[in-house]
Amino acid sequence: MVVETVLLRRRAAAKFDDAAHWLFTDEALQQATAAPVAAHRARRLAGAVVHDATCSIGSELAALRHSAELLVGSDTDPVRLAMARHNVPDVPLCRADALRPVTRNAVVLLDPARRSNGRRRFDPRDYTPALDALLEVYRDRDFVVKCAPGIDFGAVTELGFRGEIEITSLGGSVREACLWSSGLAATGVTRRATVLDRDEQLTDAEPDDCAVAPAGRWIIDPDGAIVRAGLVRHYAARHGLWQLDPDIAYLSGDHLPAGVRGFEVLDELRFSERQLRQALSARGVGAVEILVRGVDVDPDALRRRLRLRGSQAATVVITRIGSGAASRATAFICRACR
């Protein structure tokens, strides 16, 4: 038990600032919210009375105790509750089933289990507790439900959800989708992308009028949260960018938004392996990063087949432009920046 705890604490260092003092189980650690993500949610709930009805080992409680007006946690698992009492000793806890509410006017925070025996559950009706059951039980309450980042938005709507879906990324990775009931959502907002690394938020209430045009100086691959939330055009409109193709997430512009990694276009050619190999060899490229959207290309397999031997580095962006008979696969040879 001691060895397992030490190993789990080492793994937990990627999620928590004070992991050395926490108790975990392996499954609970996998599901636990990373501290920066929990802190963001706590800021949105600042000043509220909050009941974390699936508190597990207390990762959300640790952030909420500094911002909520009142806070209580509950769970059905006695072992995880005991760990939560150790991890967040200043928060009142009780053993209770999330499907049998024990609070009345609090905002209910829910994090249903999405794994069973180490395997992911993709259908929200297979969560524990099931998402459809949670939405029914709390239909007249303000609630926040943490979900898998790949959750089907249409399936959530079919279950009766009518609030805001927030997609959050951290460290270049999409971490979660979060359902905010309509009483907690901003007016007119049904989708939100939150990029914690840049402290940037984007919603579908913002303008999405952006042009489609040939590549300018830069190609920008928007953060995964923006793409997953379906807010690529909104992001382009905010930053004065345009799309290379109306159905592809790559954007272009003559400047880079602050703090964003971009790719300076050096050359553009119709994609074929032979032409791409010749163009890269002419530039002395030996190390290449390959990004692909809309074209059936395996970047790793293509990199091996190119057999490059130069001393320079480059990024190749391969994408489809146009549709139907006018569709063409295009390769952009670029220099990465930031």
Q: What is the pLDDT of residues 5-57, one digit of tens each?
A: 556 666 655 676 776 788 888 777 778 899 999 999 999 999 999 999 999 99
Closest C-alpha among 25, 145, 168, 55 to residue 63 = 55
* pLDDT, tens digit, 9 for 90 and up, residues 166-202: 999 999 999 999 999 999 999 999 999 999 999 999 9
Q: Are 72 and 106 in contact (CB under 8 A)?
A: yes
The pLDDT of 316-334, averaged and rounded, is 92
Enter the tokens of residue 205: 């209430």
Please check the confidence at residue 117 and state whether its pLDDT lies above 60: no
**Total Cβ atoms within 10 A of residue 112:** 22
- Give, as one character, the DSSP assignment of residue 45: T
Instruction: Name the residue with tokens 């964003």.
Output: 260
Sheet holding 262-270, edge to edge: 242-243, 251-253, 218-220, 262-270, 328-337, 312-321, 285-293
Please check the confidence at residue 66 and state whether its pLDDT lies above 80: yes
Model pLDDT, residue 10: 64
Please check the confidence at residue 295 and state whether its pLDDT lies above 90: yes
Model pLDDT, residue 11: 67
- For residues 120 and 308, the model is more confident at 308
Q: What is the pTM of this model?
A: 0.92
Euclidean distance between CA atoms 33 and 30, whole angstroms? 8
Enter the tokens of residue 275: 């032409």
- For residues 26 and 322, the model is more confident at 322
Angle between helices 273-282 and 299-306 (to 10 degrees): 60
- Concatenate the DSSP letters of all residues of 259-291 into one string: T--EEEEEEEEE--HHHHHHHHHHTTEEEEEEE
Instruction: Name the residue with tokens 């295009």.
Output: 330
Model pLDDT, residue 242: 98
Band of pLDDT at residue 122, cut at 50, 70 and 90: confident
> 230 phi and psi, to 5 degrees?
70, 35
Please check the confidence at residue 1 and state whether its pLDDT lies above 70: no
* pLDDT, tens digit, 9 for 90 and up, residues 196-227: 999 999 999 999 999 999 999 999 999 999 99
CA 322 to chain CA centroid, Å, is 28
Residues 6 or more apart whose Cβ sits within 8 Å of residue 183:
142, 163
Mean pLDDT computed over every residue of the chain: 93
- Bin 133: left if φ > 0, else alpha if -120 < ψ < 50, else beta: alpha
Model pLDDT, residue 326: 79
Band of pLDDT at residue 155, cut at 50, 70 and 90: very high
Band of pLDDT at residue 324, cut at 50, 70 and 90: confident
**Total Cβ atoms within 10 A of residue 2:** 6
Model pLDDT, residue 5: 59
Euclidean distance between CA atoms 23 and 67, whole angstroms? 23
Q: Are 202 and 231 in contact (CB under 8 A)?
A: yes
Band of pLDDT at residue 123, cut at 50, 70 and 90: confident
User: Does a cis peptide bond (omega within 30 degrees of 0) precede residue 129?
Assistant: yes
Band of pLDDT at residue 118, cut at 50, 70 and 90: low
